[in-house]
Amino acid sequence: MKIQKHCVGIDISKSTFTACICSEFENQDLRFSEVKTYSNDKIGFNQLNRWVRKLVKDSAPMVYLMEATGVYYENLAYHLFKIKKVLHVVLANKSKHYFASLNIKTKTDEMDAKVLSQFGVERKHTPWAPPKEVYLKLRNLTRYHLQLQDQKINLLNIQHAKNEAHETQSFILKSNKKLIKVIEKQILECKKEIQEVINSETELSEKVEKLVEIKGVGILTIATVIAETQGFEHFKSVKQLVSYTGLDVVQRESGTSIKGKTRISKKGNKYIRRALYMPSIVACRYNENLRLTYMNIITRKPSKMIGVVAIQRKLLILIYTLWNKNEHYIDGYKTKVAPEQAEATRDNS
């Protein structure tokens, strides 16, 4: 019987990764190889390549599939891309649903690698490719800026607690104050680096200048959205983008007995949602069009947060539209919305 596809499923961790090869035959039968474990470094990558070449000698299509596990998958992903292998990187929630569909309850590295290899031959996936260098730099910087902001908030909380405590030593107060100043300096340096990366490409700089004309939106918000979406390169529709960010509406209704609350999925890019939160607050006050939308929503809904989320979604779609059309933002400009866009921006969250 002829084999029609192979997939190397890889379960990866910080120091090691486990691999299994699944081969699918023309009659949909599956055959699994033994499971191998290698070190998560160049030595392990080369050992994996030799093992795959030894076992797979036919001309059937070969793909690799792994989960996006933190940053641990990146070195192997770049290695496989460099040697021109077809790689699929899937989100953990997608593989989790696939595991559940097979009713698999065992959770081991060996089982994960085996099921991921089966996932690769039985389902269609988008080939992975590394982001452009400029987007990778922006992503690293914007995420680091967020981490610095979180550290500053933690230090400010410590400062408040120590100031209110009884007889806190002056050393502690001075030390905490110095740390806050250091973090604030690094935040400013990080902002400068972000601006320099944007200025390094003329087309990117010109587009960003147009996007920051949107009331309530600043450089950091735009840089985060552009970096996390790789310049919207892989998005073909508004609906797809909204789903990627986790701002899509989820309804929970069944028959007459289940009437759950409508909410956003939050199964998406948390960095974009967080970057859009404060701009949406500002837009609700100072962007006339969006303020009217916000006021209309909160008069019909029980929570103001529902209105804020709707404005987050509208800002995201506005950024996406202006980026693709390479147009300036016109305050007060209204257009007819396409049916698909209208569905994605429904205010029933």
Give the Cα separation of 64 and 139 in Å (integer). 25
Quick one: pLDDT band at residue 229, thresholds 50, 70, 90? very high
Query: Which phi and psi (to 5°) does residue 341 adopt?
Result: -70, -40
Residue with the bigger pLDDT between 336 and 191: it is 191
Quick one: pLDDT band at residue 333, thresholds 50, 70, 90? low
Q: What pLDDT was estimated at residue 64?
A: 98
CATH topology of domain 3-122: Nucleotidyltransferase; domain 5 (3.30.420)
Report yes or no: 119 and 111 within 8 Å, Cβ to Cβ.
Answer: no
Q: What is the CA radius of gyration of the chain?
A: 24
Contacts of 200 by beta carbon, 8 Å cutoff, 6+ apart: 134
Q: What pLDDT was estimated at residue 344?
A: 43
Contacts of 22 by beta carbon, 8 Å cutoff, 6+ apart: 6, 7, 9, 30, 31, 32, 33, 114, 117, 118, 120, 121
Q: What pLDDT was estimated at residue 117?
A: 96
Q: What is the mean pLDDT of residues 76-81?
A: 96
* The pLDDT of residue 226 is above 90: yes
Query: Residue written as tokens 């680096």?
Result: 193
- Helix (H), strand (E) counts: the chain: 13, 10
SS3 category, 121: helix
Q: What pLDDT was estimated at residue 289?
A: 83
Q: What pLDDT was estimated at residue 236?
A: 86
Residue-wise pLDDT for 55-75, tens only, equals 998 999 999 999 988 889 999
What is the SS3 assignment for 25-58?
A: ECCCCEEECCCEEEECCHHHHHHHHHHHHHHCCC
* The pLDDT of residue 334 is above 60: no
The percentage of residues in the chain with a pLDDT greater than 70, rounded to a whole number, is: 90
Domain ranges of the chain: 3-122, 132-200, 203-349
Q: What is the mean pLDDT of residues 308-326?
A: 93
User: Which tokens hold the place of 128?
Assistant: 């992975």
Give the Cα separation of 269 and 242 in Å (integer). 10
Nearest CA-CA partner of 40 in 52, 48, 32:
48
Return the number of other C-beta atoms located less than 10 Å from residue 285's C-beta: 11
Q: What pLDDT was estimated at residue 263?
A: 61
Residue-wise pLDDT for 127-178, tens only, equals 999 999 999 999 999 999 999 999 999 999 999 999 999 999 999 999 999 9
Give the Cα separation of 62 and 295 in Å (integer). 54
What is the pLDDT of the chain when averaged over all its residues? 88
SS3 category, 93: helix
* The pLDDT of residue 256 is above 90: no
Q: What is the mean pLDDT of residues 194-218?
A: 94
Report yes or no: 279 and 315 within 8 Å, Cβ to Cβ.
Answer: yes
